Amino acid sequence: MRAVLMAGGSGTRLRPLTCDLPKPMVPILNRPIAEHIINLLKRNGVKEVIATLYYLPDVMRDYFQDGSEFGVRMTYAVEEDQPLGTAGCVKNIDELLDDTFMVISGDGVTDFDLTEAIRFHKEKGSKATLVLTHVPNPVEFGVVIIDGENRIQRFLEKPSTSEIFSDTVNTGTYILEPEVLDYLPANQETDFSKDLFPLLLEKGEPIYGYVAEGYWCDVGHLDAYREAQYDALDSRVHMTLGYYKEESSGLWVGQNTEIDPTARIKPPVMIGNNCRIGARVKIRPGTIIGDNVTIGNDAQLERAIVWNGAIIGEEAYLQACVISRGTRVDRRSHVLEGAVIGALSTVGEEAQISPKVRVWPNKQIESGATLNINLIWGNTAQRNLFGQRGVSGLANIDITPEFAVKLGAAYGSTLKPGSHVTVSRDQRSISRMVSRSLISGLMSVGINIQNLEATAIPLARAILPTLGVAGGIHVRLHPDRAGHILIEFFDEIGIDIPKGKEKKIEGAYFKEDLRRAQIHEIGLVTYPSRIIDTYSTTFEHHLNVAAVRNSKSKVVIDYAYAVSGAVLPMLLGKFGCDAVVLNASLSQTAPSAAEREGMLGQLGQVVQALQATFGVQVSANGEQLVLVDEVGTPIRGEVLTALLTHMVLTANPRGTVVVPVHATGAIEHIARRHDGRVIRTKVNPTALMAACQENENVVLGGSSDMGFIFPQMHPGFDAMFCIAKLIEMLTIQEHTLGQIWSELPRISHRSQTLRCPWTSKGALMRHLVETHSADQLELVDGVKILDRTVEGWILVLPDAGEPLVHIYANSEDREWVDSKLNEYRQRVISFIEHEQGIHQTPQEIAL
């Protein structure tokens, strides 16, 4: 059998290790990953290997040549002009593949029994067999769902946390029949997971998943690279290590290596050929030293990975770091955990490289310097920038001016030079600081700024399409996390940017592939005028002004010390409404939950005292609200979502409402009353906004915890327009909020939150999918289990940002809700206890 070794990857997330090496040539235990893969193929009877190359192809060709030294026959296929994708490059060599063949990723470390996988493929009569495995955290991989016969049912490429329905992932190893390549177009970029395999499913071709036992690690980032090294050294993965002699249990030493008798070495440790280990050197478990390395007297190495030709000075201290080829670390220098020093660099005497810092090749670090940022640009490397909603972090700790400058430059580098973007913020000083830093980064890459300054977020979204810009940024205190800043990115019409765009920004940020504008190309800053006038015009256009004017309403608005703009009282006054404003002065910090509750109570008292139509507490810089009815009772949560749905569908029968998957089931009951339609989305703002734009006749979108969207007005959440609409609808429908509340369906909707380790989330979702029949399940977001006998459902939803899982129960039958909530709570707790292998009481897990 022939194997195609996918070896074209540039390994951008492994930089600086891959600045001068293709990813498959990065060493594990002093030999390239590709060599370990070839040894695995050889052990499983595969003797012909075709390597597909793109990035630095000569490195692999020069190392393996014709493969005879490694016991295989090697040939090479180089993609000359542009990468063709995982499937496209195999399609390009289909004339060499006339029988069953294997495709294997060039950047994975594994010891799977491929012979058994081949036998499985033939026994099933499969056209394509994917080698799968279970992983603790499947977020970074392609999730695959199989049935009881191992036939593949569904693919989900690199899911978000809440989309994880299984912990069974694609390892990038496939056994294929040559005819499947006929489905692929020639000379086009195509991918196995995104293009070929879904097409085979659609065509009804037999496609199976073989769940392999054994070790597998996708060496996709620097942490995974170190872990693969340590696992290999600990013999957790079977590898051919005949190139060194095992001097004693767990200690491998190469030829012509000299170790001073006073050196202290504690296995497992690997030391290469022609090394010199000085006096009193201490080498701790987990250390891997390449060939031709010199280590000076009294140096200490703890789990350090030192590549060939490095020189480590006297009394140097290396801790869980990577020292690349030919690098020199001078005496008394410290290179700390997670740091990576690129090839042929020099770390001066008594310098310190802080944890996680990356240094690109051929760099000089001066003696005595303390380096706590990447040498070329930026701060410590991170895995992801974007969370469930934008980029967030602790103010002036995670989200610093230097971070924001780089983030702005990364975003701008994904746009065409000379593009325009808006930048807006709330009125707090920390947001002003961060927005100015973002503006500096954007200008540095040639992006022009339309600075909206302190602007309520609904105005920022509404104005954006009128300015002809490529997108926008808004900076504010995080509405849900004290002390945190939230940076949100909008597309050209004001919707949060999609995941694909987020990934491009992350790519530019982590690869540090940032454009640099010349002096005459530096971006300009302008300040648009008439923002409120433009918003007001749109506001009036989508409002029944006559109804509002005739209402003679009195509304009490509590801004909770976070002024989201004086536009609403001004507009309501223009229409003859009396708007009484509370707590409109600005505070640099957001009120706590307890303080907000106290203000809500005061709001209720003012509404009663003034005999107002209703009261409203506005939050999240103008996006979210809590209502208070005419007798001072707060309306929030699922009741608020149901109440607004009822009012809007009364005004717009046969309309469509978009809500997140966890919203109360009362929405469907209300929609049936008005011959309406309900669309449920994932529990994130981007999904809600996109669904409101993509579907016809949407009259309302959102939920109480995110805000409400009136798509005809603009694509974002807008508490101010929502308040004006409430006045309009109350007038036309001739009801009070209390009367409408009494007409809502009586649905029991309860939730509970439990602690759930990140490593257990995928397995938990897979367990739930496997233990319920398919006709019971909805997999929009999380796992929803339906019980049609009581028109009820249970939703188990992993939290996207915290090690938590949320359980929602919904039905007209309150006893059923209480019973099921308790049942699934116990199920989740038992599963977590089993996964963790420890006993925790429900009180310890439950929040």
In this prediction, residues 697-702 reach a mean pLDDT of 96
The pLDDT of residue 424 is above 90: yes
pLDDT band at 570 (very low <50, low <70, confident <90, very high): confident
What pLDDT is attached to residue 162?
Answer: 64
**Where do the DSSP E strands lie in 611-738?**
614-619, 624-628, 634-635, 656-660, 677-681, 698-703, 707-709
Range in 46-55, 115-124, 153-162, 773-782 with the lowest mean pLDDT: 153-162
For 23-41, b/e burial (b = at least 16 CB within 10 A) is: bbbbbbbbbbbbbbbbbbb
d(CA 474, CA 541): 25
Per residue in 326-354, pLDDT tens? 999 998 999 999 999 999 999 988 888 98
The pLDDT of residue 448 is above 90: yes
Per residue in 745-762, pLDDT tens? 999 999 999 988 877 888
Per residue in 199-252, pLDDT tens? 998 898 999 999 999 999 989 899 999 999 999 999 999 988 878 888 888 899
DSSP 151: B
Range in 528-532, 757-761, 822-826 with the lowest mean pLDDT: 757-761
The pLDDT of residue 6 is above 50: yes
What pLDDT is attached to residue 669?
Answer: 95
d(CA 729, CA 603): 22
d(CA 463, CA 715): 11
DSSP run (H or E) holding 146: strand 143-146
Per residue in 389-407, pLDDT tens? 899 988 887 788 999 999 9
Closest among 222, 173, 194 to 11, alpha carbons compared? 222
Looking only at the bridges linking them, the beta strands covering 707-709 and 698-703 are antiparallel
DSSP 46: -
What pLDDT is attached to residue 194?
Answer: 86
The pLDDT of residue 683 is above 50: yes
Contact 412, 447 (CB under 8 A): yes
In this prediction, residues 138-167 reach a mean pLDDT of 76
Q: How many other CB atoms are there within 10 angstroms of residue 199's CB atom?
A: 16
Look over the chain and give the mean of its residue pLDDT values, rounded to a whole number: 90
d(CA 81, CA 187): 11
d(CA 530, CA 774): 55
DSSP-derived secondary structure for 506-559: HHHHHHT------GGG---EE----HHHHHHHHHHHTS-HHHHHHH--EEEEE-
Residue 29 makes CB contacts below 8 A (sequence gap 6+) with 36, 229, 232, 233, 239, 241, 270, 288
Q: Kindly list the strands in the beta sheet with 698-703, ordered across the sheet, starting from the edge strand earlier in the chain.
A: 677-681, 656-660, 698-703, 707-709
What pLDDT is attached to residue 22?
Answer: 93
In this prediction, residues 127-149 reach a mean pLDDT of 85
What pLDDT is attached to residue 837?
Answer: 63
Range in 318-322, 378-382, 672-676 with the lowest mean pLDDT: 378-382
Per residue in 302-333, pLDDT tens? 999 999 999 999 999 999 999 999 999 998 99
Range in 18-27, 83-92, 171-180, 315-324 with the lowest mean pLDDT: 83-92
pLDDT band at 298 (very low <50, low <70, confident <90, very high): very high
State CA 487 to chain mean position distance. Answer: 15
pLDDT band at 470 (very low <50, low <70, confident <90, very high): very high
The pLDDT of residue 690 is above 80: yes
Range in 194-208, 369-383, 692-706 with the lowest mean pLDDT: 369-383
Range in 90-94, 183-187, 290-294, 375-379 with the lowest mean pLDDT: 375-379
Beta pairing partners, 209: 130
Which pair of structure tokens corresponds to residue 753?
A: 């939150």
The pLDDT of residue 799 is above 50: yes
> CA-CA distances (angstroms) from residue 361 to 16, 32, 332, 581, 781?
7, 19, 21, 60, 43
In this prediction, residues 22-26 reach a mean pLDDT of 94
In this prediction, residues 353-371 reach a mean pLDDT of 85
pLDDT band at 381 (very low <50, low <70, confident <90, very high): very low
DSSP 797: E
What pLDDT is attached to residue 349?
Answer: 86
Beta pairing partners, 143: 156, 169
For 676-709, b/e burial (b = at least 16 CB within 10 A) is: bbbbbbbbbbbbbbbbbbeeeebbbbbbbbbbbb
Per residue in 253-275, pLDDT tens? 999 999 999 999 999 999 999 99
Which pair of structure tokens corresponds to residue 743?
A: 């007409």
pLDDT band at 622 (very low <50, low <70, confident <90, very high): confident
The pLDDT of residue 142 is above 80: no
Burial class of residue 535, CB neighbours in 10 A (0-12, 13-18, 19+): buried
What pLDDT is attached to residue 157?
Answer: 67
What pLDDT is attached to residue 844?
Answer: 36
Contact 165, 145 (CB under 8 A): yes
The pLDDT of residue 417 is above 70: yes
- The fraction of the chain above a pLDDT of 90, given in percent, is 67
pLDDT band at 653 (very low <50, low <70, confident <90, very high): very high
DSSP-derived secondary structure for 174-190: EEE-GGGGGGSPTTS--
Per residue in 473-506, pLDDT tens? 999 999 888 889 999 999 999 999 998 899 899 8
Biggest CA–CA distance in the chain, Å, is 96
d(CA 489, CA 505): 10
State CA 340 to chain mean position distance. Answer: 24
Residue appearing with tokens 């030999």: 31
Per residue in 777-790, pLDDT tens? 999 999 999 998 88
d(CA 564, CA 427): 8
Helix (H, G, I), strand (E, B) or coil at 491: coil
